[in-house]
Amino acid sequence: MSSDIKKILQNKQVEKVELSKDHRKKFEAKLQTELHHYKKRSNRFLKIAASFLILVGLGTTVYYYAPKTNNTPVQISKIESLGSISPELKKIENYYLVSINAEILNLNETPENKELLDGYLEKIDELSKDYKMLTNELNSEGLNEKTINALIDNLQLRLKLLYQLKEQLNELKKNNVKQNENIQV
């Protein structure tokens, strides 16, 4: 069934068709519309391709120059006191600190009790410095039960010392009152 195309065309009679006078103008107009339509289509394609390339370029830039979140170490906030660890510890710390400050404010310094008062306040000041050192230890070594208990014990000890001081001041006051009564009698 296959036959040579030359043979088929030689055997076929060709009709002569005359073209219209406007044929050339129509052809050129049609060619121009097709060419113009092709340019529009290629411009649209170029715009889409350019937009895509810009987006890929921006994405790549952001990817390479943005800070890497998984490589940066997590910043741990500095622990300044027990209260910055948890709300429960904050309540405990506030209770002791308010009690300590209230007891210190209630102390009356007189020439008779000055030496006793200074000794206790010096010891409480040392305990306050120890408290700061324990807090720094908590920052450097991380949270651990031993250090937290030591901080709470420090607060308790300061308050106990103030209660002892208060008792001794009351005894000293009573002794002074008794001595004054004995002198007057």
Looking at mean pLDDT, say which of 15-19, 108-112, 125-129, 178-182 comes out highest: 125-129
pLDDT exceeds cutoff 50 at 149: yes
pLDDT tens for residues 150-183?
Answer: 888 988 898 898 888 888 888 888 887 777 666 6
Q: Cα–Cα distance between 94 and 81 in angstroms, integer?
A: 10
> What is the per-residue pLDDT for 126?
92
> Which of 122-128's residues contact partners 24+ apart within 8 Å by CB, and which partners?
123/161, 124/100, 124/158, 124/161, 124/162, 127/154, 127/157, 127/158, 127/161, 128/158
Provide the mean pLDDT of the chain: 78
Of the pLDDT bands very low, low, confident and very high (cuts 50, 70, 90), residue 5 is confident
